[in-house]
Amino acid sequence: MIKAGIIGATGYAGAELVRILLGHKEVEIKWYGSKSYIDEKYAKVYGNMFQLVEDTCLDDNIEELAKQVDVIFTATPQGFLAGVLTEEILEHTKVVDLSADYRLKDVAVYEKWYKIEHKSPQFIQEAVYGLCEINREKVKKARLVANPGCYTTCSILTAYPLIKEGLIEPGTLIVDAKSGTSGAGRGAKLPNLFCEVNENIKAYGVSTHRHTPEIEEQLSYAAEEPVTINFTPHLVPMNRGILATEYAALKKIKQADGSFLLPTYEQIKGAYDKYYKEEYFIRVLEQGVCPETKWVEGSNFVDIGFQIDARTGRIILMGAIDNLVKGAAGQAVQNMNLLFGFSEQEGLTLVPMFP
């Protein structure tokens, strides 16, 4: 058994970490950190944990926590971990950070998009971007894992094989994504009140959303050239889920007779199979089937579908995830499994919930 501590255990992502880790046979949760609920019973904050969790919430003293556990999850706002992380902490424990503090390799880009000063840039290059299906071997050797964002996980995995195989023009990629309200966190915010969200759908962060450079950076690695995208997120009145619909121009493929033709369904499907056929958590759907958030809710799965539009020479890519599981806590546990040599599926064989 390894010991785990969670800082930010009373946020939505932190609570999802608790739910998943309680079902993990190799982990004991040692520390439920919450600055807002110090000394309160965790089960009072989340009634679903009644008689399942008897612990009280502790503070966010990461230095003390690092001496007691093997892994720390930080489900905290941007800037928290960067402001407290030290070499001594990383010598004692591994850290999986669910914030954006170490996702971007250029500190200037981080400070521009997040509008805060980065307090520990010395750890940025060491941090491994924890998109498990792409960086699995790097994660296994890491001390510090930057858990990807929810929009980014869905957007990157949906497009990655086609970018990597040169089947689409990277500079034409447009990502239109919808998220449930839990993606905004548990704090009281006027735009997220029931009357503001119910019976409504709205775009936000248009051309300025801070997940944009994260998606661009990772797809640039795949393309081996700079990639610039249009990314527009939307808020929809549901608790969980992300649906990303992505549009891109197809690259024509040179034929034996010297002519150029658009890729076929079989060639596109072959690219997905090349990268994802052995990936348990990625399900490439049958031809003509579109992903739906309800079929991944409560699970660590990513469902992906696509449709070639021969009339326009473009392709429509679609991906669906649960933003709190594969988009946050589930992926964090998947990273932890890699760090400690457990089965990657341990604690994560969560059958999607319906209805």
* Same domain as 43, residue 175: no
Residue 346 falls within a domain, yes or no? no
What is the pLDDT averaged over residues 204-231? 97
Least confident range of 76-80, 191-195, 203-207, 245-249: 191-195
* Same domain as 183, residue 121: no
Does the pLDDT value for residue 255 go beyond 90? no
* Same domain as 155, residue 268: yes
Of 150, 154, 195, 290, catalytic = 150
* pLDDT value of position 136: 98
What is the pLDDT averaged over residues 247-276? 95
* pLDDT value of position 191: 84
Residue 204 falls within a domain, yes or no? yes
What is the pLDDT averaged over residues 90-118? 98
Residue 283 falls within a domain, yes or no? yes
* Same domain as 63, residue 12: yes
Q: Using one digit for the tens of pLDDT, what is the confidence trace for 275-320?
A: 999 999 999 999 999 999 999 999 999 999 999 999 999 999 999 9
Residue 25 falls within a domain, yes or no? yes
Q: Residue 161: which CATH number?
A: 3.30.360.10
* Same domain as 115, residue 179: no
* Same domain as 289, residue 230: yes
What's the total number of domains in the chain? 2
Name the strand (E) or helix (H) holding 316: strand 314-321
Which residue segment(s) compose the domain that 43 sits in? 2-126
The span from the CA of 143 to the CA of 210, in Å, is 25
Q: Reduce the DSSP state of residue 230 to 3 states and report it.
A: strand
Q: Using one digit for the tens of pLDDT, what is the confidence trace for 40-70?
A: 999 999 999 999 999 999 999 999 999 999 9
Residue 173 falls within a domain, yes or no? yes
* Same domain as 169, residue 97: no
Does the pLDDT value for residue 187 go beyond 90? no
What is the three-state SS of 178-221?
A: EECHHHHCCCCCHHHCHHHHCCCCEECCCCCCCCHHHHHHHHHH
Q: Please, which residues bridge with residue 260 across strands?
A: 254
* Same domain as 317, residue 205: yes
* pLDDT value of position 192: 83
Does the pLDDT value for residue 188 go beyond 80? no
Q: Residue 14: which CATH number?
A: 3.40.50.720
What is the pLDDT averaged over residues 194-219? 96
* Same domain as 8, residue 66: yes
pTM of the model: 0.96
Residue 137 falls within a domain, yes or no? no
* Same domain as 48, residue 191: no
* Same domain as 102, residue 67: yes
Look at 190 and 92; give whichever has higher pLDDT. 92
Q: Tell me whether residue 132 is one of the annotated catalytic residues.
A: no
